[in-house]
Amino acid sequence: MNNMDRQNIVALPHDRLREKSAKITTFDETTKHLVHDMIAAGLDWEDNRDHELCVGLAAVQVDIHKQVVILRTDQEDKSNRDFTPLINPKIIRTSGKPEYDYEGCLSVKDIYGLVPRYPKIKIKAQDLDGQEFRLTADGFLARLIQHEIDHVNGTLYIDHIKDLDNFYKINDDGKILKLDYEQHIATSSILW
């Protein structure tokens, strides 16, 4: 079996990114292999980026329409390459008023945006053996989980941005800069 790599990650304008994913009903080696391949693809992508980290990935981003998400165990430490899978994740409660922060996405190349997300959430999901669990998350982890669950539902972070002034680009030094008018025009055909 060959591992997936960054070439397997699909990006806009790929239209299947906006399709809802199917629920996993059978917990077998197929799902375990998918998780393994998703981790390999995300890490290969990361290894080819100077200033970015793969903190999460949904199966739809490798063109597999199953409700599978992986989250980096330590979102701050690039040397920690462990991920936690969430199978059939669903938000069951949100708390607080949505807060804005920067988000990027492996499937939206080189564009960042200020996105509103709930500061605290509770989810239910299953592990690779099909055992259901619940998780409460806040801060960046809550944002990350909402971003990935959006993917499962066929939504991208750019769908939450209503103001074109909230789009950004990363420069060669890893700094996030506002898009200028020409960059907005050049990227708008890709994003919508």
Q: Which residues of 93-107 are buried (b: 16+ CB within 10 A; e: fewer)?
A: eeeeeeeeeebbbbb
Can 148 be counted among the known catalytic residues? yes
CA distance 92 to 160: 20
With contact defined as beta carbons under 8 Å apart, do 62 and 38 qualify?
yes
Provide the Cα torsion 13, 148, 110, 182; round to 10°: 60
CA distance 84 to 99: 25
Residue 42 token pair: 């995300």
Could you say which of 19, 132, 148, 182 is catalytic? Answer: 148
3-state DSSP assignment of residue 125: strand
CA distance 40 to 66: 17
Provide the Cα torsion 95, 52, 85, 44; round to 10°: 170
CA distance 92 to 64: 24
Q: Give the catalytic positions in this structure.
A: 148
